[in-house]
Amino acid sequence: MTALSFHTDPTLLLCIFAALLLPLLSFGASVLTPRQYSWLVSFNAPLLLLVSAICAAVALTSRWNDDPALFQITWFTVGDQPLSANILLTNTSLLMLVVVSVISFLVHLYSTGYMAGDNDLKKYFAMLGFFTFSMQGIVLADNLLILFVFWELVGFSSYMLIGHWTEKLAAGQASKKAFILNRIGDAGFLVGLMIVWANTGTLGITELLSSGSTYQWQTAASLCIFCGVIGKSAQFPLFSWLPDAMEGPTPVSALIHAATMVAAGVYLLVRIHPLFTPMALTVVAVTGMATAIIGSLAALFQYDIKRILAYSTMSQLGLMVMAIGIGIVNAALLHLFTHAFFKACLFLSAGSVIHALHRAQLRAHHHFDVQDIRNLGGLRQNLPVTFLTFLLGGASLAGIPFFSGFLSKEAILAAVWSTDSSVLSWSLLVAMVSVSFITVLYTFRMIWYIFMGEARKPLPVAPVEPPVIMRMPVVLLALCSLWLVVSWNPFDFIGWLLPEAYYTHVAWVTAFSVVWIAAALGVSYFVFRTARFDSNAILENAFYVDAAGSKVLGKIVQISATTASHIDRKWIDGLIHGSAYAHITIAHITGWVDRTLVDGFVNGVAYLSKGIGAFTRSFQAGKIQVYIFWAILAIIIFLIWTLK
């Protein structure tokens, strides 16, 4: 890390805290708005997020390429050890802050049209603001414990948003599944933090990275932390929650897949990758490779438009994780940046298709599954703006030249090619080339099915474009999918985000990519445009990883429950019953001791006292003869004792 400055610039501090706290203010304002004025949240929430995005952009422009700045904040002290909630400002954190703020604002703006008429608009916008605040906390935190707190808040927010439509059974099940699978990964994350704390006495990211030493415990700690990344970024094998999360509102899906939740895991890897040992990084690379392949193949054989995009996200995240695993951190960050914009564009464009068809169905009283691409077709004529935005976002996802996705994938491909000639490097290179080919196939498969040809389920009432408030954010995101956001040269990834010092541009790699993409486009056209290609059940179900995992986990739970029941009946109940019998026996023994010994001793003392009393009372009989007798007896005893 370069020199670290401890900043107290009030203007910069104001911008950072405004960017961070305005989404939280949106949450509070939405919660406190009276129900009869719930329409106000559709105005207040996007406005607050717009100001947050502007503040983040001001902070980025004022600090870009400067030395990292640290705002020191002591949260509380344990003994002599202070726990700091410091804010670290680097190019990476400021860039992600802008990405999160801008995309969240556009999603808020889009939601005002998409969610109009929703029964619980207050809760929706409240949780959307809280979701954004939680992700921004992850971006700015310089302490792993503070980061973990925001990490869990992101998980809670996603649970609430995925299950927003409480009357929809599938949405409730999907939200619980996302919550549980993420907690499995987070348990490993927490163990990793304990290992780090036990060995270093600190969880400050800056302090940990400044040590520069490698210790044996780092492999275990980094792999445990990576478990949290696997859950949050939907990596193999904890990825099955991501496609199911599509049961939530489409703007929520856009935010989860573009700038929050799944991006959090990759961002964490970017921040702390120097802590990972070579063995741990190999595990990271192989996991990313497996996820990228499974996700791309599964996306190729899905029919639900949102599930296709979900598996696509999983695949692209796998490429980023794979790149970080072999040390290509800056290229992975570049792809995270470009992916955020074109994937948000695709999801919101898909939402526009769904919204337009739902409205047409309501007017025509004719219903079918509008998310099944087999029911669609010919929509480019009725939805020209949506078609154009989907085409631009899809071209960037597919890595077509003149789009940002082409440049970010080229950066990864060139860097992989430049690494050593080990078996792992060649395997990753083949995997990336294959995933890139498949990505073109499933992306244009969606375009052929949805927008080209004739309508396969024609409606009596033609669908129309959604309102302007929904089209504006999608158009802006589509423009951000062009190459200009990365570099002035559409065929060279070297630009403001990726300085030339990191990777060397290889011309023949670019030429190969162009030819490879053209071949994939041709295959996609002839397979999906001119004919219909039925899916394979194995691929459609993502290799049955979810089903197999459910069966295995179900069996484990069943065996665990049976074993626990047996232990409860035989051992725990036996211990409790034995304890009860022991108490009864002890009670009988203490009763006998009390009656026989204690009471006997007390009664004996009483009888002895009574006897002594009766004896001494005989001295006072009231007769003069008795008194004379005892006096003479006493004198005799006294004389005998003295004369002796």
Tens of pLDDT, residue by residue over 320-359, are 999 999 888 988 999 999 999 999 999 999 999 999 998 8
Say yes or no to pLDDT of 571 above 50: yes
DSSP code for 580: H
Contact by Cβ (8 Å): 22, 51: yes
Per-residue confidence (pLDDT) for residue 192, from 0 to 100: 94
Contact by Cβ (8 Å): 101, 53: yes
Count Cβ atoms below 10 Å from residue 318 Cβ, excluding itself. 28
In this prediction, residues 84-101 reach a mean pLDDT of 89
As a whole number of angstroms, the distance between CA 599 and CA 426 comes to 92
Say yes or no to pLDDT of 548 above 60: no
Q: What confidence tier does 166 reach under pLDDT thresholds 50, 70, 90?
A: confident
* Torsion angle (degrees, nearest 10) of CA 21, 25, 27, 30: -160
CA 293 to chain centre: 22
Per-residue confidence (pLDDT) for residue 425, from 0 to 100: 81
Of 489 and 252, which is predicted with more confidence?
252
Tens of pLDDT, residue by residue over 122-142, are 999 999 999 999 999 999 999
10 Å CB burial of residue 581 (0-12, 13-18, 19+) is: exposed
Q: At what angle do helices 10-32 and 121-140 cross, to 10 degrees?
A: 150
**Which letter, b or e, does each residue of 227-266 get, where b requires 16 or more Cβ atoms within 10 Å of its Cβ?**
bbbbbbbbbbebbbbbbbbbbbbbbbbbbbbbbbbbbbbb
Say yes or no to pLDDT of 293 above 50: yes
As a whole number of angstroms, the distance between CA 381 and CA 294 comes to 34
Tens of pLDDT, residue by residue over 328-337, are 898 899 999 9
Q: Identify the helix (H) or strand (E) that includes residue 87.
A: strand 87-89
**Which letter, b or e, does each residue of 373-397 get, where b requires 16 or more Cβ atoms within 10 Å of its Cβ?**
bebbbebbebbebbbbbbbbbbbbb
Say yes or no to pLDDT of 547 above 70: no
In this prediction, residues 475-486 reach a mean pLDDT of 91
Say yes or no to pLDDT of 549 above 60: no
Q: What confidence tier does 1 reach under pLDDT thresholds 50, 70, 90?
A: very low
Say yes or no to pLDDT of 546 above 60: no
In this prediction, residues 2-29 reach a mean pLDDT of 81
Contact by Cβ (8 Å): 252, 347: no
Count Cβ atoms below 10 Å from residue 51 Cβ, excluding itself. 16
Say yes or no to pLDDT of 538 above 80: no
Helix, strand, coil percentages in the chain from 3-state DSSP, rounded to 5 = 75, 5, 20
Query: Which range has the worst mean pLDDT, 507-521, 545-559, 577-591?
Result: 545-559
Per-residue confidence (pLDDT) for residue 592, from 0 to 100: 83
Give the amino acid at 492. D
Per-residue confidence (pLDDT) for residue 294, from 0 to 100: 94
Q: What confidence tier does 415 reach under pLDDT thresholds 50, 70, 90?
A: confident
Of 381 and 507, which is predicted with more confidence?
381
As a whole number of angstroms, the distance between CA 550 and CA 540 comes to 17
Most confident of 145-159, 424-438, 500-514: 145-159
Residue 463 in 3-state DSSP? coil
Say yes or no to pLDDT of 269 above 60: yes
Say yes or no to pLDDT of 493 above 80: no
Q: What confidence tier does 537 reach under pLDDT thresholds 50, 70, 90?
A: very low
Contact by Cβ (8 Å): 272, 208: yes
In this prediction, residues 458-469 reach a mean pLDDT of 86
Of 503 and 167, which is predicted with more confidence?
167
Say yes or no to pLDDT of 197 above 70: yes
Sign of CA dihedral 500, 506, 510, 511: positive
Per-residue confidence (pLDDT) for residue 603, from 0 to 100: 79
Most confident of 395-404, 419-428, 496-505, 581-590: 395-404
Q: What confidence tier does 38 reach under pLDDT thresholds 50, 70, 90?
A: confident
As a whole number of angstroms, the distance between CA 234 and CA 310 comes to 10
pLDDT over 70 percentage in the chain: 89
Q: Identify the helix (H) or strand (E) that includes residue 540.
A: helix 537-540
Radius of gyration of the chain (CA): 37
Tens of pLDDT, residue by residue over 219-261, are 999 999 999 999 999 898 888 888 898 888 999 999 998 877 8
Say yes or no to pLDDT of 545 above 70: no
Say yes or no to pLDDT of 55 above 80: yes
In this prediction, residues 503-511 reach a mean pLDDT of 68
Say yes or no to pLDDT of 53 above 70: yes
Of 280 and 36, which is predicted with more confidence?
280
Helix H, strand E, coil C: the string for 33-78 is CCHHHHHHHHHHHHHHHHHHHHHHHHHHHHHCCCCCEEECCEEEEE
Residue 376 tokens read as: 């669609």
Say yes or no to pLDDT of 536 above 90: no
DSSP code for 570: I
As a whole number of angstroms, the distance between CA 338 and CA 334 comes to 6
In this prediction, residues 173-184 reach a mean pLDDT of 91
Q: What confidence tier does 120 reach under pLDDT thresholds 50, 70, 90?
A: confident
Of 76 and 240, which is predicted with more confidence?
240
Say yes or no to pLDDT of 310 above 90: yes
Q: Identify the helix (H) or strand (E) that includes residue 478.
A: helix 468-479
In this prediction, residues 486-495 reach a mean pLDDT of 76
Query: Which range has the worst mean pLDDT, 363-377, 471-485, 568-582?
Result: 568-582
CB within 8 Å of 266: residues ≥ 6 apart:
229, 233, 317, 320, 321, 324, 332, 336
Q: Identify the helix (H) or strand (E) that includes residue 242.
A: helix 241-244
Give the CA distances from residue 460 to residues 106, 367, 466, 635, in Å, rounded to whole numbers and listed in that order: 33, 11, 18, 140
CB within 8 Å of 320: residues ≥ 6 apart:
266, 288, 332, 335, 336, 339
Say yes or no to pLDDT of 501 above 70: no
Contact by Cβ (8 Å): 277, 246: no
Closest CA to 11 of 53, 44, 59, 49: 59
Give the CA distances from residue 287 to residues 180, 270, 283, 428, in Å, rounded to whole numbers and listed in that order: 21, 16, 6, 11
As a whole number of angstroms, the distance between CA 294 and CA 92 comes to 29
In this prediction, residues 24-33 reach a mean pLDDT of 92
pLDDT over 90 percentage in the chain: 43
CB within 8 Å of 347: residues ≥ 6 apart:
250, 251, 253, 254, 257, 258, 306, 309
As a whole number of angstroms, the distance between CA 480 and CA 474 comes to 10
As a whole number of angstroms, the distance between CA 366 and CA 444 comes to 28
Q: What confidence tier does 551 reach under pLDDT thresholds 50, 70, 90?
A: low
Of 110 and 116, which is predicted with more confidence?
110
